[in-house]
Amino acid sequence: MDSPPTGGFKWPVRVYYEDTDAGGVVFYANYLKFFERARTEWLRAAGIGQHVLVQEHGIVFVVRHVEIDYHAPAKLDDELSITVAVEKMGGASVYFVQQAWRIDGEEARLLTSACVKVVCVDAGAMRPAPFPETVLQKIILLSNPS
C-alpha cells in the first residue's frame, strides 16, 4: 500500500452509484469533479468564496490545463481522500498537485494524480488578471501554514 501525504488539505469523498460507469468503477472524468470540489473547499478554508471573487473583485478562476494519471480504480461506496497542494504560483496562475486516495481503515492506495493549472481571469473580458493582493495573501497563507 501507498502512503498518503501527511498534513496539507484533504477533502473526503464517498463514491456513489452515479459516479460509476457500466463496469462498476468510477468513470474517469468524475475524478475531475472530485478535484474541483476539493479545490473549492480548499479556497473556502482559505476564506475565499468563489461568489465573492466575482462580486467583489470581478474575477473568476478557470482551469487552463490538466495532466492526469490513473493508477487504480475506485468503486462504489469507497471512501476517498482528495488532496490539494500548491506546486507553484504565478501572478495570475496557480499550479496544483492533486491526488485521490482510497482509504480503507489504516490502509491507503493512490488511485489518481493530477497537475492542474488554474488561471485568474477578469469575469467580463475572460482574460488573465492578476490575483487581488488580499486573495493572493490568503492563498499563500493556506499553502504554507507555518
Catalytic residues: 21
**Separate counts of helices (H) and strands (E) for the chain:** 3, 5
Give the three cell numbers for residue 39: 479545490
Alpha carbon of residue 50 to chain centroid: 14
94, 105 Cβ separation under 8 angstroms: no
Euclidean distance between the first and final Cα of the chain, in Å?
Answer: 29
What does the alpha-carbon distance between residue 146 and residue 130 come to, in Å, rounded to a whole number?
Answer: 25
Exposure class string for 49-78: b at 16+ Cβ within 10 A, else e: eeeebeeebebbbeeeeeebeeeebbeeeb
